[in-house]
Amino acid sequence: MFTLSADTPLRAFCISSRFVRPSLVWPEGLAVDFYDPIVAGDAPFCLAMNRGNCIAYDGSDQPAAAAAAFGMPLWVFLDCCTLPSAMVGFAAPRESLPEDLARRLDPDGTLAWLGISEYMGLPSLEPGTVVGVSLFSLGRGLHLGTRSKALGLFALRAQRQVGVAQYANPSVRLHLAFGDLELLAPRAPVHSRPEETFVYTAPVPDPGRLAAMVGGRALERKARAPLAITHAFDPRQKQEVDAFVARSGRFAIVGTGSVEEGALTQLSVATLETEAAPEVPASPAAPATATGGAVARGAAASKPPLLIVGCGYSGEAIAETALREGRVVWGTTRDAAKALRLSALGIEPVLVDFERDADLPELPTTTGWDVVISLAPEPTQRPHGVLERALAWLGERPVRKLVYLSATSIFGGGNGDWVDDATVPAPTTARGKLRLEAEQLIAGWGEAHGVETLSLRLPGIYGPNRTTLPRLRDGSYRLYNAELWSNRIFVDDIASAALFGLATEGLTGSVIACDLTPSPITEVVAFSCAQHGLPTPPHAPMQDCPPSVRDFWQGSKRCKASTLLGLGWTPAFPSYREGLLEAWRLEEAATLPRL
């Protein structure tokens, strides 16, 4: 796959026969390019789409002869798909594709626009039910797979969808954007890959939401109803799939883990009520290896689900680390686009605005949540209003332990003195005072509800897309205090510290989490400039310092994470040198950067 830029032009297309086309409907105002598979002049585009299908599924631009190959033979493309129904998707200008990919799709070089995503669904004899046949996207970054499927479901007037997927295939994430996947058959015995394939049914969003999804909006997943996660398994491991298949009952796939080497690392499953069960086709017998219990995933099975309240930059890093450990992770956001992003990362999104929503959402039933709160006080008349509402919401749910991301601004500072966990807080700024009040709210809530709480006091947070390099490059960076001692923590070390805090019984109160090397700011800036061949930025008087960063430039101190280090936690990035080099490396390699 290649990465599409946000400004890549796109055109919707439809490949369908002329006698089917009048039955299709389209979102209002959407321009669609039509191609007829039995018209010679349209053949080049259709053939290019077929090559794209084969590249996406098998890596070859021609259908493979192997029985387990997924690339669509041309006779299937015509006879079974585009002649009786429609293939829809999005095309991009040839010059926006990598040259090698464009040549593989269109060897003759005759097409100015090339299809790079598609969804193919077949209307069934059951009115309103569409059976998904094919779905792919060759480009990442613009959610074209999700948007193509939404366009196909809209065009076919779908009210219910039935699909076939493989347990470890990352496309399961995409399908979950439309709703939970209720299993009709945990295995498909007549499929070319029966051991790894399941059949599901899922709801279809209303036409208004489908139209918004086609346009790249409203892409957050909306679960059919709050469902309790009863177990999880690694779909890459045959024995774990076998154990799941051996279970009896009705199940729905409701979440996924991260993707490693092109495969999902975890599926989260909910047990459905047995009433009104659909007819389930018989599945082949599997070894009776299931042992019962809530979660069958090895060591991760004993870890409670993780809820991140305020799943922003640091929250994403915590979630990704927890997902790699095999945990089920939920994250709140008030932004619909961010909810889709969380879903793409394998995080179950909870769309909620604690400030404005009258009714707050439900959460799956569980015996106890681990919670991380990443909510900064707001400089308003009610600076802690959002935090107080979130805590009230959590107070109605079982919480095992809560970690709050605070800040070292509670110490004040200005002379480069050392501070550690024995230092008495003495905030000198409004932000520092508000952070200390927030810590006190957290501690009070924990005492009232009998829950262990821990506040992590963090210095400057940095990582990919959070360094001074852009401002050093554009010349806007200034040194307002050449005597400043700066402290920092790499975002991935925040994740390890938060999870360490959750896992360490009895670790409560407030502690510092930072790297091992407080450094003069001039040294850090000089390192960045030297690595990129940039001039050292000029000095400027403090009175010219913008208010938004004045607290940073006046807060000279040297922090030590005495408690965490004493308990065995160690940052992976002990100084700015290792951290900045890693951040820049990740920025260059990023396909889905943290926001």
Q: DSSP states of 162-204 as a string?
A: EEEEETT-THHHHHHTT--EEEEES--TTSSSGGGEEEEEEE-
pLDDT in tens, 450-467: 999 999 999 999 999 999
pLDDT recorded at residue 297: 31
Indicate if the pLDDT at residue 113 is higher than 90: yes
CATH number, position 443 = 3.40.50.720
Task: Tell me whether residue 594 is in a domain.
Answer: no
Bridge partners of residue 370, in order along the sequence: 306, 401
pLDDT in tens, 278-328: 443 333 333 322 222 233 233 344 689 999 999 999 999 999 999 988 899
To the nearest whole number, what is the mean pLDDT of the chain? Answer: 87
Kindly report the pTM of this predicted structure. Answer: 0.54
Both tokens of 457, joined, read: 């006091």
pLDDT in tens, 15-46: 999 888 888 999 988 999 999 999 999 999 99
pLDDT recorded at residue 276: 41
- Please compute the mean of the pLDDT values over residues 78-107 and round it to a whole number: 93
In three-state secondary structure terms, 482 is coil
Show the domain range for 260. 159-301
Q: Are residues 200 and 70 in the same domain?
A: no
Place of tokens 């794209």: 52
Q: Are residues 150 and 41 in the same domain?
A: yes
Q: DSSP states of 289-305 as a string?
A: ----SS--SGGGGGSPP
DSSP tag of 15: E
- What distances in angstroms separate CA 63 from CA 58, 89, 197, one per listed residue? 8, 20, 20
Bridge partners of residue 14, in order along the sequence: 34, 88
Indicate if the pLDDT at residue 275 is higher than 80: no
DSSP tag of 310: S
Q: Name the residue among 421, 396, 399, 395 with its Cα closest to residue 408.
A: 421
Number of domains within the chain: 3
Q: Are residues 90 and 1 in the same domain?
A: yes
Orientation angle between helical segments 313-324 and 491-503, nearest 10 degrees? 60
Both tokens of 215, joined, read: 């346009």
Q: Are residues 562 and 550 in the same domain?
A: yes
Q: Are residues 253 and 326 in the same domain?
A: no
Cβ-based burial of 539 (10 A; exposed 0-12, middle 13-18, buried ≥19): exposed
Percent of the chain with pLDDT over 70: 89
pLDDT recorded at residue 224: 44
User: Which of 245, 276, 301 is where one domain is finished?
Assistant: 301
- What whole-number distance in Å separates Cα of residue 344 and Cα of residue 112? 31
Indicate if the pLDDT at residue 594 is higher than 80: no
- What whole-number distance in Å separates Cα of residue 80 and Cα of residue 574? 59
Q: Are residues 99 and 163 in the same domain?
A: no
- Please compute the mean of the pLDDT values over residues 560-586 and round it to a whole number: 93
Place of tokens 């209303």: 206
Task: Tell me whether residue 595 is in a domain.
Answer: no
pLDDT recorded at residue 115: 95
pLDDT recorded at residue 221: 57
- Please compute the mean of the pLDDT values over residues 518-541 and round it to a whole number: 93
User: Which of 266, 301, 336 is where one domain is finished?
Assistant: 301
Q: Are residues 232 and 254 in the same domain?
A: yes
8 A C-beta contact, residue 411 and residue 420: no
pLDDT in tens, 410-447: 998 778 899 999 999 999 889 999 999 999 999 999 99
φ, ψ for residue 41 (rounded to 5)? -65, -20
Task: Tell me whether residue 553 is in a domain.
Answer: yes
Quickly state the pLDDT bin for 120 (edges 50, 70, 90).
Answer: very high
Task: Tell me whether residue 3 is in a domain.
Answer: yes
Q: Cite the DSSP H helix spans in 287-425.
A: 313-324, 336-344, 385-394
pLDDT recorded at residue 240: 87
Task: Tell me whether residue 215 is in a domain.
Answer: yes
Q: Are residues 290 and 310 in the same domain?
A: no
How many CB atoms within 10 Å of residue 30? Answer: 13
Q: Are residues 432 and 577 in the same domain?
A: yes
User: Which of 158, 184, 201 is where one domain is finished?
Assistant: 158
Q: Are residues 12 and 146 in the same domain?
A: yes
Q: Are residues 223 and 116 in the same domain?
A: no
- What whole-number distance in Å separates Cα of residue 547 and Cα of residue 568? 38
Task: Tell me whether residue 316 is in a domain.
Answer: yes
In three-state secondary structure terms, 250 is coil
Task: Tell me whether residue 422 is in a domain.
Answer: yes
Indicate if the pLDDT at residue 63 is higher than 80: no
Task: Tell me whether residue 91 is in a domain.
Answer: yes
Q: Are residues 316 and 410 in the same domain?
A: yes
**Which segment of 116-120, 214-218, 243-247, 275-279 scores lowest on mean pLDDT?**
275-279
DSSP tag of 68: T
